[in-house]
Structure 1
Amino acid sequence: MLSQQELSDRFEIQDLVFRYAELIDTKQIDRLRDDVFTEDAHIDYGVMGGSVGDVDTTLEFLNSALTDALFPNSQHLNANVQIKVDADSATGRVMCFNPMEMVVAGSDNQTYFLGLWYVDEYRRTTRGWRISRREEVKSWVFNTPDFMNL
């Protein structure tokens, strides 16, 4: 049986995962620094063609990639949130279904779909739970534009 503290921790981490998706989809990228990641976080989006590195590298990549001119709409639907808490640290595996609307020159916008997992490490901080490590693991892709090699 889970303790009240562990239940509370798991709910807080789940809210953190959902907060990440909200900030990405509303393009409030810079809020990730204070609301989601630890200062020393390592984020690996490499499997989907993105950046690998620290928080600064990640925010720079996301701010340049997720512009309205390129991606007017996206949704990051998180499900199957699996969390294991161990005192002030935790690990997680989170399913993400990610439709992305992309502006493709010379044609109508194209919507494609990504299926992936986030493999995470979390740490309790003075500001609450934060992601200290996140790695995307590709599951599948559908309808990606021809020039994308995912």
Structure 2
Amino acid sequence: MTIEEISARLEIQQVLTDYSTAVDSGHFDDLDDVFTADAVIDFSATGGIAGPLAEVKTWLAQVLPNFKAYCHLLGNHDIAIAGDTATSRTLCLNPMQAPDDSTFLIALWYSDTWVRTDRGWRIRTRAQEKCFDKQL
């Protein structure tokens, strides 16, 4: 690997962490620094919506406050760099606590396409692939 590829991988991993931080803290406007302005996001594999970034941010702001707690744990980053574009597949474990204190765990993969912009790496498309969900 070249130093440029190592740098790109580290930058992409940071943006993935920035995504989790924005969602888990309820700072949905911070997602503007994660996705391109024309990003298309598909959360339908886990019961969510598919659409442009603005619609997804609105949906997240409406849906997530219905849970008492939730968080994202990301790992197993599989990143392929091709110049100023990239693809990645990232495992996400997402426990969520419902208002009745029941907790369930969603395991999924984020499949992303990336583009390097003048502001750094940004996700252009995101789709979920569901692994499993389980009430704990």
The alignment's TM-score, normalised by the length of structure 2, stands at: 0.97
Q: Which runs of 5+ in 2 are unaligned?
A: none
Instruction: Give the deviation of 1:72 after TM superposition.
Output: 2.3
Offset at residue 28 of structure 1 (A): 0.7
SS at match of 1:66: helix
Cα offsets for 1:87-119 (capped at 9, x unmatched)? 10000000001101111xxxx321110000000
Letter in 1 for 2:89: R
Deviation at 1:44, TM superposition (A): 0.1
Which residue of structure 2 aligns with residue 60 of structure 1? Answer: 58
Aligned residues, how many? Answer: 136
Which of these residues, 45, 51, 55, is aligned with residue 49 of structure 2? Answer: 51
Structure 2 counterparts to residues 1-150 of structure 1, below 5 A: 2-33=1-32, 35-67=33-65, 70-103=66-99, 108-143=100-135
1:110-141 deviations in Å (ceiling 9; x for gaps): 11100000000011111100111100100000
Q: Secondary structure of 1:10's match?
A: helix
User: Between Structure 1 and Structure 2, whose CA radius of gyration is higher?
Assistant: 1
Q: Please state which structure has a larger fraction of its residues in strand.
A: 2
* Equivalent residue letter for 1:25: D
Ranges in structure 1 where 5+ consecutive residues have no aligned partner: 145-150
TM-score norm. by structure 1 comes to 0.88
Q: Which runs of 4+ in 1 moved over 2 A?
A: none
- In structure 2, what is the Cα distance between the partners aligned to 1:28 and 1:10? 24
